[in-house]
Amino acid sequence: MAENMQHLEMLGITKRFPGVLSNNNINIQLGTGEVLAILGENGAGKTTLMNILYGLYQPDAGEILLKGKSVKINSPREAIALGVGMVHQHFMLVPNLTVTENVILGLSRKILVDLKTAAIRIKEISDSYGLAINPDAYIWQLSVGEQQRVEIIKALYRGANLLILDEPTAVLTPQESKELILLLKNMAAQGNSIIVISHKLNEVMAVSDRVTVLRDGEVCADVKTRETSSEALARLMVGREMTRHKREGKSSPGKPVLELQEVFAKGDKGTEALSGITLEIREGEILGIAGVSGNGQKELAEVISGLRKVTKGKLCLNGKESTNHPPIDLIKMGLGYIPEDRMHVGTIPSFSIWENFILKDHHKSPFAKGTFLQNRWIRSHSSSLVEKYGIKTPNLETPTGRLSGGNIQKIVLAREINRNPKTLVAAYPTRGLDIGATDYIHSKLLEARSNGIGVMLISEDLEELINICDRIAVLYDGRIMKVMPVEEADESTLGLLMAGLSEAAS
Amino acid sequence: MEGINSEIIIVILATGIRLAAPFLLAALGEMFTQRSGVYNLGVEGIMMMGAFVGFFITLIGGSPLLGIAASLVVGALMGLLMAVVSVTFKAEQGISGIGLYMLGWGLSGLLFRLYVGAITTIDGLKPVAIPLLSDIPFLGPILFNQNGLVYSAFLLVPISAFILYKTTWGLNVRAVGTMPEAADTLGVSVQGIRYQCLIVGSMLAGLAGAFLTVGHANMYADNITAGRGFISIALVYFGRWSPWGIMLGALLFSMADSFQSMVQVLGINFPYELAVVLPYVITIFALAISFGRVWGPAALGKPFQRGTRG
């Protein structure tokens, strides 16, 4: 076998969706045993391209060659039969089934399921790559990193030798990401070919042998990883020079605007989600909450915004007790809230843009006189916000749900910041946004900080936290592991704390 | 409550066991349907059709077995209809289920008036005493002197559990009802499984209806199901989508049902107005305490469309 034998070639792939040319004449190659990164912003066409390879979409034009042979892939099932496996960004695992049941789902052709034989093979695969997965565990018992490894086992069990991973580190802790990168390299060394889709430059630099950069549905570069740098890749990906907004100077925090004292709360399943949280945010500072999601972040944000009951402890806004006050009171007391789910909690997707802008103020002057809405005011207010925040929309009547994630987030941000809150709680405000939109959100949060607003930023992105926060608190299992000035925080310390290891970090 | 002796207790319990059969059949069917992610609120209507067709075919064909077979067929057809509407055309499941209920109600009443017209009795299923077991004092007459459908209904409990947890099909059903996207990417046909579950579930509902006419009352009357289909749906929740839990719930309700009918028939000294509402009060109460902590099939009620999110 030739050393550089091409495992996969996609030639001249073109895919149109109504109104969008998602992939335009794209060519990619992947050598056997190679790790290829496909880098691009949201909407650059990465996922469409991979869905074509995995048989979920049919290309309008172009050809796919696997090991030199032209193939047509009509469904995921055919992709699997050709040895193509995919690890989706949102795991395709059934939480109340065991690892073994998930792995053999769709494979068994017999009437009775043979879990024993399957479990033995899973153990073999798990051992040969050092995956450390117990076949009898239920998915809901596993950590996110373990679930991802189950996805990889699922593909390998089906005989995949070409693995596609869609944004694989998006949900992992830094340590887990490092382990994954080692695992992928090990798998490639054993002859598997791997494609990693990503918009994270660091991970692309760390894991890949080669990078294909997509922009606006076209390949704009194809480079060897060791011959490039993250800066060069960022330029290629965005198509212009990037200036990243960072925190400037020391903050001069004023009086406390939000205080939590020994706050306890229950999660959706009735188990304790917050176990004695004590925090303080002061005027003009950004406090970051680091942690792997699912450790109480959602509950923390909901408790502060009045959406979840505090079972024990005390909350104060601007020095006044606000424990278990209804949301309307908290809004009046000057709390702004950017919820985690911008699509369904932050906005009402079927409502127009102007309606979403006035969700919190529609009953007040100048937007209403008595029971009647003042359309002229609302419109001029809305169009000024659209302009000020650079929201891309056909018009003010467009249902918010039709906009892109970045534009929806800008609407939420515009609404919340423009109400001049004293405290702003932002839960994962940049999750899933591309570099441009992320940077914009950062600049607005920093602007809020310099206007004296106390900001709580809940995030999983350590780079983001380190760049814009003044202090960082690490949340693990409903407890604050540590609160530290950002100067003392680095990725590895935070990573260990996020994994619940307080001793190791001291 | 004077005058309750062991004979009356045996009658109440034996009737309770017998009356558990329609709940069990319908609720186990609905369990499979819901496990695959579809609500079928039309159970009551399917039961009505099953009750009428079972009765009618027994009346003209002369054999309860023919009637039972016919009720299975009519159940399957109504399940197919529900599947076309709610799975293929993705109609709101609650509404299409109510539509199916109205259809079954209207159609069974209409057919009865057209082809029978007056209360007529039929030769239904006879109790089959199981040798030896039925001679056990007290328990024998309660448990082992029932008709074939009662035995089948109770046998269906372990069989359903086995199918759900030990077979490939059961695995597919559980996956499709919880995370259809995952099943779809692995080549399990989400629509296929949902069709199968709706048809099987509706056949059992049809059978439950036939039990009421062929295996219990030996006659047909308008609205003979008396809400049992809806109670069966509640039982699925009460039993947390598990066959054994459903059996527990079915027995609870059927015993209450049996008690209330005996109160009237035997003139037991207990306010009968209270006894009559007892099963329904228990339904509401049981649901109120079991709801909220339920961990049901996550995709229940959501039509599946490939690639809708993300």
A170 belongs to a structural domain: yes
Mean pLDDT, rounded, of chain B: 90
Q: What is the per-residue pLDDT for A154? A: 93
Domain CATH code at residue A325: 3.40.50.300
Nearest CA of chain B to the CA of A110: how many Å? Answer: 7
Cβ separation of B168 and A110 shorter than 8 Å?
yes
Furthest-apart CA pair in chain B: how many Å? 68
Nearest CA of chain B to the CA of A176: how many Å? Answer: 23
Same domain for A150 and A271, yes or no, is no
Vertex A334 angle, CA A332 and A336, to 5°: 110
A142 belongs to a structural domain: yes
Same domain for A156 and A54, yes or no, is yes
* Residues in chain A closer than 8 A to B175 (CB atoms): 94, 97, 101-102, 105
Cβ separation of A92 and B174 shorter than 8 Å?
no
Classify A478 as helix, strand or coil.
coil
Interface of A with B in 465-504 (CB under 8 A): none
Q: Chain A contact for B171, CB < 8 A? A: yes
Same domain for A310 and A430, yes or no, is yes
* Most confident by average pLDDT, A423-427, A489-493, B138-142, B299-303: A423-427
pLDDT above 90 covers a percentage of chain B that reads: 65
Same domain for A223 and A299, yes or no, is no
Q: Chain B contact for A376, CB < 8 A? A: no
* Residues in chain B closer than 8 A to A89 (CB atoms): 310
Cβ separation of B171 and A112 shorter than 8 Å?
no
Q: What is the per-residue pLDDT for B307? A: 59
Please tell me the distance from the alpha carbon of residue B140 to that of residue B56, in angstroms, as a whole number: 32
Q: Chain B contact for A116, CB < 8 A? A: no
Cross-strand pairs, A223: A211
Number of domain units in chain A: 2
Same domain for A197 and A292, yes or no, is no
A412 belongs to a structural domain: no
pLDDT interval class at B154 (50, 70, 90)? very high
Tokens of B34: 């819901």
pTM, to two decimals: 0.79
Same domain for A120 and A180, yes or no, is yes
- Residue among A75, A89, A94 minimizing CB distance to B182: A94
Q: Which residues of chain A have pLDDT under 70?
A: 1-4, 241-243, 503-506
Q: Indicate the pairing of strand A35-39 with strand A61-66.
A: unpaired
Mean pLDDT of B189-194: 95
Same domain for A429 and A479, yes or no, is yes
Q: What is the per-residue pLDDT for A505? A: 43
Nearest CA of chain B to the CA of A257: how many Å? Answer: 36
Same domain for A87 and A192, yes or no, is yes
* Residues in chain B closer than 8 A to A73 (CB atoms): none
Asked whether A481 and A500 are in contact (CB, 8 A), the reply is yes
Cβ separation of B168 and A102 shorter than 8 Å?
no
Quote the domain boundaries for residue A56: 6-238
* Residues in chain A closer than 8 A to B35 (CB atoms): none
A341 belongs to a structural domain: no
Q: Chain A contact for B310, CB < 8 A? A: yes
- Residue among B170, B187, B298 minimizing CB distance to A76: B187
* Residues in chain B closer than 8 A to A101 (CB atoms): 171, 175
Asked whether A427 and A339 are in contact (CB, 8 A), the reply is yes
Q: What is the per-residue pLDDT for A503? A: 57
* Residues in chain B closer than 8 A to A93 (CB atoms): 179, 182
- Residue among B179, B293, B307 minimizing CB distance to A94: B179
Phi-psi region of A417 (alpha: psi -120 to 50; beta: other; left: phi over 0): alpha
Q: What is the per-residue pLDDT for A21? A: 85
Nearest CA in chain A to B296: A96
Cβ separation of B167 and A113 shorter than 8 Å?
yes
Q: Chain A contact for B181, CB < 8 A? A: yes
Nearest CA of chain B to the CA of A323: how many Å? Answer: 25
Nearest CA of chain A to the CA of B58: how many Å? Answer: 35
* Residues in chain B closer than 8 A to A76 (CB atoms): 184-187
Q: What is the per-residue pLDDT for A18? A: 77
Nearest CA of chain B to the CA of A50: how many Å? Answer: 14
Cβ separation of A112 and B179 shorter than 8 Å?
no
Torsional sign, CA B27, B30, B34, B36:
positive
DSSP state for residue A54 in the 8-state scheme: T
For domain B6-121+147-290, say whether CATH 1.10.3470.10 is its number.
Answer: yes
Same domain for A311 and A444, yes or no, is yes
A391 belongs to a structural domain: no
Cβ separation of A107 and B186 shorter than 8 Å?
yes
Return the domain boundaries, chain B: 6-121+147-290
Q: Chain B contact for A167, CB < 8 A? A: no
Mean pLDDT of B226-253: 92
A247 belongs to a structural domain: no
Cis peptide before A95 (omega within 30 of 0): no
A316 belongs to a structural domain: yes
Q: Chain B contact for A90, CB < 8 A? A: yes
pLDDT interval class at B310 (50, 70, 90)? very low
Please tell me the distance from the alpha carbon of residue A330 to that of residue A302, in angstroms, as a whole number: 12
Classify A258 as helix, strand or coil.
strand
Tokens of B206: 């049809």
Q: What is the per-residue pLDDT for A406? A: 83
Nearest CA in chain A to B182: A92
Cα atoms found within 13 Å of the Cα of residue A312, Cβ hemisphere only: 8
Nearest CA in chain A to B297: A96
A495 belongs to a structural domain: yes
pLDDT in tens, A491-506: 888 888 988 887 544 4
* Residues in chain A closer than 8 A to B306 (CB atoms): 56
Mean pLDDT of B112-131: 90
A367 CB burial (10 A radius; 0-12, 13-18, 19+) = middle
Q: How many CB pairs under 8 A join A and B?
A: 72
Vertex A454 angle, CA A449 and A460, to 5°: 85
Q: Chain B contact for A10, CB < 8 A? A: no
Q: Chain B contact for A343, CB < 8 A? A: no
Same domain for A279 and A216, yes or no, is no
Nearest CA in chain B to A47: B310
Cβ separation of B171 and A95 shorter than 8 Å?
no
Task: Give me the torsion for CA of A193, A197, A199, A200, rounded to 10°.
Answer: -40
Q: What is the per-residue pLDDT for A3? A: 47
Cβ separation of B174 and A97 shorter than 8 Å?
yes
Same domain for A90 and A169, yes or no, is yes
